[in-house]
A and B are shown apart, each in its own frame.
Chain A
Amino acid sequence: MADVILNVKNLDISFKTSAGMVHAIRGIDFDLERGETVAIVGESGSGKSVTMKAAMGILAKNAVVNSGTIDFTYKNQEGVYGSVNILDKDKKWLRNHINGKRISMVFQDPMTSLDPTMNIGKQLVEGMLLHTNMTKEEARAKAIRLLKEVGIEDAEKRMRQYPHQLSGGMRQRVVIAIALSCDPDLLICDEPTTALDVTIQAKIIELIKRVQKERGISVIYITHDLGVVAKVADYVNVMYAGKIVEKGLVDEVFYDPRHPYTWGLLSAMPDLDTDDDRLYTIPGSPPNLLQEVKGDAFAPRNQFALEIDDKEEPPMFQLTKNHFAATWLLDERAPKVEMPKELRERLDRMKREAEKYGN
């Protein structure tokens, strides 16, 4: 069932600030199929959250969409599949038809995304009463069912409690239950586990995976944790300075990364077998997008940068059916550059470990 549910084409967004225009998103394309999980990885400021906010139609007021379309395909009231360009619609229409109903979002910090003055039950039924024709009793019954589904015990009692009475992991479960309340087609998780502990993170990820499998919904995962990506994603987009620099199936990107930025990201994360004395760091910091970037945005931080990187932006080179990377190193005229030795060794180690699972 390979129908595309979300199609982002050539998205380009700037923000008007007192210092000038900040060119946050510089041409992004990606597809999301039904039931699939896509991860978007990148440093803070790379534009991953902005992309998702655009998909939800909740961009800040000072955002200017320069070009692009975001086509979202869904079943409308009559049960017919149709698609809309989210960027064409106004906020009011989106609020009534899309937000919370067909696309819902789980935010990073469950303390700030829940209303501290409203009890859990009220927050859960709010969306259902607004978007569906359910009666209060039906909505309440469904809310209790949802709380049980996300693994909260004595749901009836929790319905009357307030967010501050719950632990961090519980709160995030409630946020997920709220996101699922109107049976959305697409769930966007913006760093859902960054504020949580590893043990709780593992449980929340399991929960999201289970819910996705049971309901067959699509999930977009925004994160900077490559370990989480490895666990959940089918498909990965690596973003840098408002562009996707490498994309592909999760196995392709992790076992055969081609972009120097992806090399850097993978190297910077200590795995439990690293014995080196120093952690690898990507030198420098991301470019200031107030100034127009000439050439490859990553070139100043790239030890493998070529002369052409300063002059012209690299196109997307296709490696396999799904695997693309935007770096001049893949051009046939480029010198042959191998990834750093340490990373090569580490990937080999990873592959050996993966072989144990018979893949």
Chain B
Amino acid sequence: MLASLTLLAGCRQDMHDQPKYIPLRPVDQVGTVSDGRSARPLVEGAVPRDDARNDIEFYTGKLRNFAGLNPGAVPAGRQQGANQAAANQPGTNQQGQNSPAQQFQGFVTEFPMPITAADLDRGEERFNIYCSVCHGLSGDGQGMIVKRGFKRPPSYHEDRLRQAPVGYFFDVITNGFSTMPDYASQISPRDRWRIISYIRALQLSQHATEADVPADKLGDLSKPPEKATGKEGEHER
């Protein structure tokens, strides 16, 4: 008994709980700050070291002249007043006060990166993680969180959003829109473009005709639908 007590006395936990910073472990003080965080919030304007954000179209979804970044560096075509301000703040022009042409002015209309089949797959995966909770797996705006009471977002398949330029979607993901929060910290810029490519694919899928189906797959159309949910479909991939 004595021997085992001696053994137990050796069980100190110093090495288990070392006085060092590990993610999200509360700390008393870091430097002069004492809010309990060892991981400090980013300094405003900090960017990851692997992307210098020189490519304004890629990182904002807006045309260089409209982006409103680095005012000094932006070329002269910038003084377009109200329209440009509206384009910069999509939150202020809801409910069709402006025509789509005005609302979508200044946004990038083509993907600023090549989209491959792998990008599209990645876009589908990210869409299902971050967007489908509200927008639904097919983009109809009937996701689970909407069924729980969140404001229903518009369907991607309405004409206005079918005509929206890709940069507009990028801006909404990055800065939010109306009740939709921004996803800038959850989705990387590259993944945002991939998600948009998948949104385009969803939009195509809802307005596809028989002519869009490859000839060798036409026979599948008359087959009864398999018992497959979105998740099962993912499994097959």
Q: Answer yes or no: do A and B interact.
A: no
